[in-house]
Amino acid sequence: MSFLPISKKDMEDRGWDELDFLYISGDAYVDHPSFGHAIITRLLESEGFKVGIIAQPDWKSNKDFMMLGRPKYGVLISSGVIDSMVNHYTASKKPRNDDLYSPGGKAGFRPDRAVIVYANKVKEVFKDIPVIIGGIEASLRRFAHYDYWDNKVRRSILQDAKADILVYGMGEKPVVEIANLLKQGVAIKDIKDIRGTCYLSGYDSLPEKITGFIEQAEGDSGNKKVLGKYSLIHSYEEVVQDKRKYAEAFKVQYDEQDALTGRTIIQQHGDRYLVQNPPSYALNTKELDRVYALPYERTYHPEYEKDGGIAAIREVEFSITSHRGCYGGCSFCALNFHQGRVIQSRSQASIINEAKKLTWLPGFKGYIHDIGGPTANFRSKACEKQVKSGVCKGKQCMHPDPCKNLIVDHSEYLSLLRKLRELPEVKKVFIRSGIRYDYLMLDKNDDFFTELCEHHVSGQLKVAPEHVVDRVLDKMGKPGRKVYDRFVKKFYDINNKIGKEQYLVPYLISSHPGSDLKAAVELAEYLKGLGYMPEQVQDFYPTPGTLSTCMFYTELDPRNMTRVYVPKSPKEKAMQRALLQYRKKENYNLVYEALKLAGRDDLIGFGNKCLIRPRRVEKLIESKQKQNPKQKQNQNQKHKGKPLKKIDNKKRIK
């Protein structure tokens, strides 16, 4: 096989005069199953459709959009693997200097709000052609949503994009269903009942069953209007004006994202109605195996070679996706809204076959970089109930405490890893996807934990406690600090037992809703006790579709409508971030001010527990270092993002 057409010449080489579908992507063309555009286009190809790709077109003219001609059935649009605004701007809203999904890693190859820009350009160029939008940007912006960059509530992306249908979540099933209906001659305006899709409609054009529900719901009271299979949430106009109504609407959206239990959700936007059909049914193992067995080239298109290639391939080139979905329930994660809570796993045979393919690739040196998914050790169903009755509404599998029905078993995942290790061309199999340590600690059998340390960690294991203060962890949907402490102790105990010196690298988030300065100081104290300073700290980033973003905007926890403290000012966010890197000279003033505001003067001094020295001493040291540049250089190079000493967790954790 070869890459799909990106030019008229490619079409001619295949003997094609016309495409069935055109796919426009905000990412460069990488034919690898870690990229949504590769999966959808290869799947449509396997269904007999002629598909071409225009990657990162120049949106300021019509030329690129027309280069493959007008397709027969429709245009599919995605901004890429990441929301275009997240791709372009940091959490402090500063423009990023690079883009791993573009040629040579350079920024500027796609517009802000790429889905809207591309869709409007397609409507301009091809007039009445069916436009189907999807991918992460469209999926997470399907309802009226808070937009961090505009600092306001924006309406559904369907309205601004002027698209005909929005595919949300993992789009294989709905895209193929839409494609076949269009092929059969069904008008795009009549495709209104496909799971995993949204559409906008005037009242008179809505299906009769929905207008009948709306008429009955109009007189209903309360924060949500529910009848049978339908739920009418607060309108766009209402959630713009009232943050409490925004939170109430979000809670309904959050609870209805299960294929077995989810209702059709309706949200009025002016004189039109946004309709979200229930989520698409999860792919079974056979269907998922088929998706990952499609004939991907597994690399970027050769046209990018002259520009230095596409950097994003390096992270996934020798990695394997073993499953989809996550029931971890982290508040700051959009997986509930996109992939869902139900685990969809590939068979061991499928994964092993893909591993064998990796060994044939140029550049393979015997190392598989990752075998995992959103959470590496969630490879099986959470419980038996989910299979027949769907996920529980208003409850999480892991938070605030693990559900008593949770199936805790690493044996199948461990069996898979052992088989992969036995492949003759494979030297090492690493796990880089996040390990859910609270789930790991529930397993009474230590075989997986031991073999994880012995075979699948390369000196450092990245884990995500995110914070250590319980009141913040509760808002994050994460387990309490005691669970992490027990995990840390066990990790080092196992490594001592097997004779390995390996370290944990914790991911931390500053300024998450619920975190005040006192909580940030407590986290800094914890790091001080561990003798560790993180090289990088992630400031909380309010992205569409997450529970944490709802808290950030409304200052309410939509799960129980209680008030939440939210650090919003740039100054406080900078102080919280600086506290986690309190040893950095450039952070001294921010840390000093934060400690004063938090009433923690006891941490300014010379004691073992102090974070910084008094200001007069710091100025004296600074003066001496100016006189001795070599001393200053040595000081700056000390403790750069790794343990300051071997972490003695037995001493730290009682």
pLDDT reading at 256 higher than 80: yes
How far apart CA 304 and CA 516 sit, in angstroms, is: 46
Longest dimension (CA), the chain: 81
Are residues 402 and 442 located together in one domain of the fold?
A: yes
Within-domain flag for 416? yes
How many CA atoms are closer than 13 Å to the CA of 139, on its beta-carbon side? 28
pLDDT at residue 623, as a whole number: 65
Q: Is residue 186 part of a domain?
A: yes
Phi, psi of 68 (to 5 degrees): -105, 5
508 and 611 in a single domain? The answer is yes
The Cα 414–Cα 198 span in angstroms is 39
Indicate whether 436 and 491 sit together in one domain.
no
Using an 8 Å Cβ cutoff, are 102 and 110 in contact?
yes
Return mean pLDDT, the chain.
Answer: 93
Q: Domain boundary residue among 455, 490, 512?
A: 455
* CATH at residue 433: 3.30.750.210
Q: Quickly tell me which residue has 């949907």 as its tokens.
A: 477
- On whether residue 448 sits in a domain, the answer given is yes
Please confirm whether the linkage preceding 400 is cis (ω < 30° from 0): yes
Distance CA 620, CA 379 (A): 56
Of the pLDDT bands very low, low, confident and very high (cuts 50, 70, 90), residue 652 is very low
- CA pair distance 641, 280, nearest whole angstrom: 43
**pLDDT over 90 for what percent of the chain?**
88
Are 60 and 175 in a shared domain? yes
Same domain, 247 and 203: yes
146-181, pLDDT tens digit by residue?
A: 999 999 999 999 999 999 999 999 999 999 999 999
**Whole-number pLDDT of residue 650:** 40
Report the candidate in 382, 411, 412, 387 with the shortest Cα–Cα distance to residue 399.
382
Measured CA to CA, the distance from residue 330 to residue 463 in angstroms comes to: 14
Smallest CA-to-CA distance from 340 within 348, 328, 352, 332 is with: 328
pLDDT at 645 over 50: no
Say if residues 352 and 419 touch (Cβ distance below 8 Å).
Answer: yes
Q: Using 50, 70 and 90 to split pLDDT, how confident is the model at 263?
A: very high
Query: Which residue range forms the structural domain that includes residue 399?
Result: 318-455
Determine, yes or no, domain membership for 492.
Answer: yes
**3-state secondary structure (DSSP) of residue 562:** strand
Provide DSSP, 306-363: GGT-BTTHHHHTTEEE-EE------TT--HHHHT-SS-EE--HHHHHHHHHHHHHSTT
pLDDT tens digits, one per residue of 498-523: 999 999 999 999 999 999 999 999 99
Residue 637 domain-assigned (yes or no): no
Residue whose C-alpha is closest to residue 421's, from 508, 373, 355: 355
**Would residue 85 count as lying in a domain?**
yes
Phi, psi of 75 (to 5 degrees): -120, 130
Domain count of the fold of the chain: 4
For residue 226, what pLDDT is reported?
A: 84
Q: What is the tens place of the pLDDT at every residue in 50-60?
A: 999 999 999 99
pLDDT tens digits, residue range 390-403?
999 889 999 999 99
Structure-model confidence comparison of residues 637 and 142, the more confident one: 142
List the beta strands (DSSP E) in 63-176: 74-78, 131-133, 145-147, 152-154, 165-167
DSSP, collapsed to helix, strand or coil, labels residue 574 as helix
Cβ-count burial of 187 within 10 angstroms (0-12 exposed, 13-18 middle, 19+ buried)? exposed
CATH code of the domain containing 22: 3.40.50.2300
Task: Please state, in angstroms and rounded to a whole number, the distance separating the CA atoms of residues 138 and 144.
Answer: 12
pLDDT digit string (tens) for 12-68? 999 999 999 999 999 999 999 999 999 999 999 999 999 999 999 999 999 999 999
Of 434, 455, 476, the one marking the end of a domain is 455
| Residue 424 burial (10 A CB sphere; 0-12, 13-18, 19+) | exposed
Q: Is the pLDDT of residue 389 over 50?
A: yes
Strands 319-321 and 562-563: unpaired
Q: With bands split at pLDDT 50, 70 and 90, how would you rate the model's confidence at 110?
A: very high
Shared domain check, 436 and 350: yes
CATH number, domain containing residue 520: 3.30.750.200
Same-domain status, 38 and 85: yes
Rounded Cα gap, residues 168 and 157, in angstroms: 12
Do 86 and 4 sit in the same domain of this protein?
yes
At residue 634, the pLDDT reads 53
**223 and 358 in a common domain:** no
Same domain, 35 and 106: yes
Reduce the DSSP state of residue 184 to 3 states and report it: coil
Whether the predicted pLDDT of 217 surpasses 60? yes
Note whether 370 and 434 are same-domain residues.
Answer: yes
Residue 482 lies in a domain: yes
Note whether residue 17 is domain-resident: yes
Boundary residue ending a domain (424, 455, 486): 455
Q: Minimal CA–CA distance to 530: which of 620, 644, 613? A: 644
- The predicted model scores a pTM of 0.92
| C-alpha dihedral sign at 383, 388, 390, 393 | negative
Start-to-end CA span in the chain (Å): 59
User: What is the DSSP track for 586-623?
Assistant: GGHHHHHHHHHHTT-GGGBSSSTT-SB--HHHHHHHHH
> Can you tell me the distance from the alpha carbon of 301 to that of 294, in angstroms, rounded to the nearest whole number?
17
The number of beta carbons lying within 10 Å of the beta carbon of residue 183 is: 15
| Residue 477 DSSP SS3 | coil
Q: Are residues 347 and 384 in the same domain?
A: yes
